[in-house]
Amino acid sequence: RTLGFWEGDSELRHFGTGEAIPVHVTSFLVTRPSDGAGVALATVQRDLREQLATERSLATRVQEQHDLADLGRMALTHSLQELLDETVRRIEIRFPGTLALVIKKVRSPSLARVVAASDPAWTNFEVPFHSASVASLALREDRLVVSDDLATDSRFADAPLAARMGMGAALACPVPAVDSGWGVLAVASRPTRTWSPNEVAFMDALSSTLGAALRRYELEAELQHQALHDALTGLPNRALVRDRLANAIARSGRRGDKVAVLLLDLDDFKAINDSLGHGTGDDVLISLAERLRRVVRPGDTVGRLGGDEFVVVAEELGSDEEVARVAEDVLAASSEYALIDGRRLSLSASVGVALAAKGVGSPSALLSEADMAMYRAKRDRPGTYRIFDEAMRGDLMGRVDIAGELRESVRAGLLRVVYQPIVDLSTGAVVAFEALARWSNHAGEAISPEVFVRVAEETGIIGELGVWVLDQAALRAAAWQGIAPGVGVRVNVSAHELRDRDYVTRLATVLAGSGLQPELLGLEITESTFIDDAGTSKENLARIHGLGVSLLVDDFGTGYSSLSYLQRFPVIDVLKIDQSFMSQSSRGQAVVRAVLGLGNAFGVKVCAEGVESADQLDFLADVECDLAQGFFFARPVESEAVDVLLRDWDPSAARATRAPRTSD
């Protein structure tokens, strides 16, 4: 009537089936050429079913890609359970009227459990691996399983659950993870249906997306575990121990009871590493960790702080007796034999205990106090425990004061070096002096070398102290060459110095500056530190020996693995027998004879320390000991008195009162 043309979408209905058929209609008026009058209406109708199906399919694919992208992003910001719940919700939207499930394998080798479901009633439902179901088959064979009609599918003929729930069709996709076979993603439909390739592909893509997220979650969990646990033993590390200790202190405040921190350090564990290897040492630590796990009470924490240092956090302690009982249990566990590769290794540990009552205290303070108590136990009597008291803090502060004064004294050159002669027992002549550092604080109080040397090692001053003593001794020895040519000097060296890569360079500088010949200098290393077989120490020992400087093992027989390191280190020149073996007891004399036998076997001289009587000297002559030193010959003398001692020395007075035995 107006335009003579119309175009648009409409719908036809099939006469036979009643099916609605969408069509695109184009209508136009047919006119008579002579006068333009309309004579007919022409209509073209195009079937839109295929086009609309394609458009719907494309829209579905687009939505599926959006779903996959959304779930991928969600995996970065949400918890695993939130991701699983959202996954089944998206499946239900994609397949209206269906049941969507995420089924995860549990620890049992033949059971799985529903961990997310579009119908909450199915949550925590257990799925046996060997049941006749689509999900069970996918779990067992770790593959995609599809059934369009469960009632006629022979694989699921004995599937009473599907029949009871009225399920007509289902598909299940395995969800991959770090370890294959984490679980399955499943969807079930009440009516039968044909799962299209696109639908199967979508479910497969969902399971892959979920698997990638699971791998990330598992990696994050592993990284978090590694960040909070010790890699060797699996125990909580320092960070996690501090967190649990803070929570324990807070709970203690609410309950009104005590929390105990027990810090455990193995005694002489280093000897095991050095003599048997670090692999054996690791096995010992793993074994100890297991024993500590067994003896602590449920709810208590066992952790490893590093090295051979462990910690126990014990809660809900009401009395001192309970604290003592926990400490005794920890000591007993750490004192058991460790059976490693068929070898029984004897262990002991020192334990420090710190207490927090009624929520008063902090993790840092308690760990520090337990550390002080542990060192007091180790110093007083290894293999025991000590409970922290304020006197220990005072002792620590005293050591801090010593460290400050010692540093000032070393840098100002206010220490002294005294010298004790070492005698050749075959001639009675002085062959060397041992240089010994002495120090008095600002108040004029003499501080024991055992104290200030240990403080110097703990505070890092030992390097400065050692070089200062070495320089003084080398200069003095060079000076007395004019009176007693060939008489050398022996200087004690700390293991801390030997681990310094620059130590040998400083040693060579001292020798060059003093003019002392290298063969006149000897470095004394205690046995317990000599067995530090660290790479730098071992390399430095070889370089020192290469300079021509002799090496002496001090306090021989009080440490470990003597025979093994005599074999590993052919650079040793002298073994010095510890003075504790110079008693006249048969056991002490047996040790002296044994050390002399080792010296002879390895071509190493032996020097006896702590000789204080003529009887001891006679015994040493009888067993043909090479060298000796002690109060019997002379006490340590000041630097300026060395020349007098050398001039007045009478070799005959330093020889035994009876002739040594002769060999047959």
pLDDT, one tens digit per residue, over 100-111 is 999 998 866 678
Rounded to whole angstroms, what are the CA distances from 163 to 149, 169, 184, 382?
11, 11, 21, 72
Q: What is the pLDDT of residue 178?
A: 62
Name the percent of the chain lying above pLDDT 90. 42
Q: Rounded mean pLDDT of 619-639?
A: 94
Name the percent of the chain lying above pLDDT 70. 91
Burial of 130-155, coded b for 16+ CB within 10 Å and e otherwise, reads ebbbbbbbbbeeeebbbbeebeebee
DSSP per residue, 565-624: HHHH-TT--EEEE-GGG-SSSHHHHHHHHHHHHHHHHHT-EEEE----SHHHHHHHHHTT
pLDDT, one tens digit per residue, over 405-422 is 888 998 888 999 999 999
Report residue 460: phi and psi, to 5°: 85, 10
Q: What is the pLDDT of residue 588?
A: 81
Rounded to whole angstroms, what are the CA distances from 599 to 454, 521, 531, 577, 656?
30, 20, 17, 11, 21
Q: Cα Rg for the chain, rounded, in angstroms?
A: 43
Q: What's the rounded Cα separation, in Å, for the pair 167 and 188? A: 6
- As a dihedral over the C-alpha atoms of residue 197, residue 199, residue 204, residue 207, rounded to 10 degrees, the angle is 180
Q: What is the pLDDT of residue 362?
A: 87
pLDDT, one tens digit per residue, over 50-106 is 888 877 877 778 888 888 888 888 888 888 899 999 999 999 999 999 999 999 988
pLDDT reading at 659 higher than 60: no
Write the burial class of residue 640 (CB in 10 Å: 0-12 exposed, 13-18 middle, 19+ buried). Answer: exposed
Q: What is the pLDDT of residue 455?
A: 83
Both tokens assigned to 554: 């001090």
Cα-to-chain-centroid distance, residue 129: 39
Write the burial class of residue 279 (CB in 10 Å: 0-12 exposed, 13-18 middle, 19+ buried). Answer: exposed
Cα-to-chain-centroid distance, residue 434: 42
Q: What's the rounded Cα separation, in Å, for the pair 22 and 169? A: 30
pLDDT, one tens digit per residue, over 305-324 is 988 999 999 999 988 889 99
Extract the runs of DSSP E, i.e. beta strands, from 468-591. Answer: 488-492, 521-526, 550-556, 574-577
Higher pLDDT, 585 or 2: 585
Beta pairing partners, 550: 522
Q: What is the pLDDT of residue 561?
A: 45
Q: Phi/psi zone of residue 624: left (φ > 0), alpha (ψ -120 to 50 degrees), beta?
A: left
Q: Rounded mean pLDDT of 602-625?
A: 92
Both tokens assigned to 409: 């004294």
pLDDT, one tens digit per residue, over 197-236 is 989 999 999 988 888 888 888 878 788 888 889 889 999 9
Cα-to-chain-centroid distance, residue 205: 40
Q: Rounded mean pLDDT of 425-448?
A: 91
Closest CA to 195 of 147, 153, 138, 133: 147
3-class secondary structure, 243: helix
Mean pLDDT of the chain: 86
- The whole-model pTM stands at 0.49
pLDDT reading at 263 higher than 60: yes
Q: CB neighbours of 663 closer than 8 A, spacing ≥ 6?
A: none
3-class secondary structure, 428: coil
Rounded to whole angstroms, what are the CA distances from 451 to 413, 447, 597?
19, 7, 34
Q: What is the pLDDT of residue 108?
A: 65
pLDDT reading at 167 higher than 60: yes
Beta-sheet pairing, 385-387 with 349-357: parallel
pLDDT reading at 661 higher than 50: no
Beta pairing partners, 423: 430, 628
* Residue whose pair of structure tokens reads 């529903």 in the numeric block: 114
Q: What is the pLDDT of residue 2?
A: 64
Q: Rounded mean pLDDT of 492-507?
A: 89
Q: Rounded mean pLDDT of 587-615?
A: 89
Write the burial class of residue 583 (CB in 10 Å: 0-12 exposed, 13-18 middle, 19+ buried). Answer: middle
pLDDT, one tens digit per residue, over 118-165 is 999 888 888 887 777 888 889 888 899 999 998 888 888 665 555 556
Q: What is the pLDDT of residue 591?
A: 86
Q: What's the rounded Cα separation, in Å, for the pair 364 and 559? A: 34
Higher pLDDT, 37 or 175: 175
Q: Rounded mean pLDDT of 601-611?
A: 91
pLDDT-derived band at 625, boundaries 50, 70, 90: very high
Q: What's the rounded Cα separation, in Å, for the pair 561 and 598? A: 13
Dihedral sign, CA of 203, 206, 212, 213?
negative
pLDDT reading at 532 higher than 90: no
Beta pairing partners, 169: 189
Q: What's the rounded Cα separation, in Å, for the pair 522 and 148? A: 91
Highest mean pLDDT, choosing among 378-382, 386-390, 461-465: 461-465
pLDDT, one tens digit per residue, over 330-376 is 999 988 878 887 778 878 899 999 998 877 888 998 998 999 899 88
Write the burial class of residue 464 (CB in 10 Å: 0-12 exposed, 13-18 middle, 19+ buried). Answer: middle
Both tokens assigned to 240: 């996690």
pLDDT-derived band at 29, boundaries 50, 70, 90: confident
Q: What's the rounded Cα separation, in Å, for the pair 623 and 202? A: 91
